[in-house]
Structure 1
């Protein structure tokens, strides 16, 4: 089986959509407790997983590293996957974001 790349999409209609779906699959059950938002930004073969949190802690970082490892396996050796954590009080989502957000905490979750 060959995996899609930006140059050869194979069965994936759009590279970014393929990455978003794979990132969502990799994150199932692993989004850090208390995460405000989680998403993915795609720049060719460079993929950045972004998580908005109230504070950075070891458990959350380990969860994100596990998601990144799972995603790297799903994407193959050609893609590089990095993680980024941003500290916020509430989810901060705008139409100008380069991140495609796949998880956003409900307002009552964000305030607890």
Structure 2
């Protein structure tokens, strides 16, 4: 297996990495206050922002809609950006997720 280099990207997931970078830019300062986890799933030209929260409030939805609008502007009209909100008690992250998580809240025990 050959690892990618700046001169030869090889099989590097360039599109997915581009979307993750743009998602991070679009979400700066906008991730909902009560978010447990936030990330993006990429399926070709379909991009889904996923946010795990303890409860879904109007302010959280507004923040996510603003992130989606910012991301849509960065990606252009050919990419479809949608939002998925999930209710959890704690961040639920597995190695099998199709979501690239860009934010995961610290557990309350770790921050004490």
TM-score range, shorter chain: 0.7 to 0.9
Q: How many residues align?
A: 100
Counterpart residue number, 1:95: 95
Structure 1 residues 37-56: aligned runs within 5 Å: 37-56=37-56
Give the Å deviation of 1:108. 1.5
Q: Secondary structure at the match of 2:56?
A: coil
Bigger Rg, structure 1 or 2: 2
TM-score, normalised on structure 2?
0.85
- Give me the whole-angstrom Cα distance separating, in 2, the residues matched to 1:52 and 1:100: 13
- RMSD of aligned Cα (Å): 1.9
Structure 2, gaps ≥5 residues long: 1-12
Q: Secondary structure at the match of 2:26?
A: helix
Q: Secondary structure at the match of 2:35?
A: coil
TM-score, normalised on structure 1?
0.85
Runs of 4+ in 1 over 4 A off after TM superposition: none
Structure 1 residues 1-112: aligned runs within 5 Å: 14-108=14-108
Evaluate the alpha carbon distance shift between residue 109 and residue 69 of structure 1 in structure 2; reply closer, same or farther with a 3 A threshold: farther
Evaluate the alpha carbon distance shift between residue 70 and residue 90 of structure 1 in structure 2; reply closer, same or farther with a 3 A threshold: same
Evaluate the alpha carbon distance shift between residue 68 and residue 35 of structure 1 in structure 2; reply closer, same or farther with a 3 A threshold: same
Query: Does structure 2 retain, via aligned residues, the 8 Å contact 1:90–1:110?
Result: no
Give the Å deviation of 1:110. 9.4
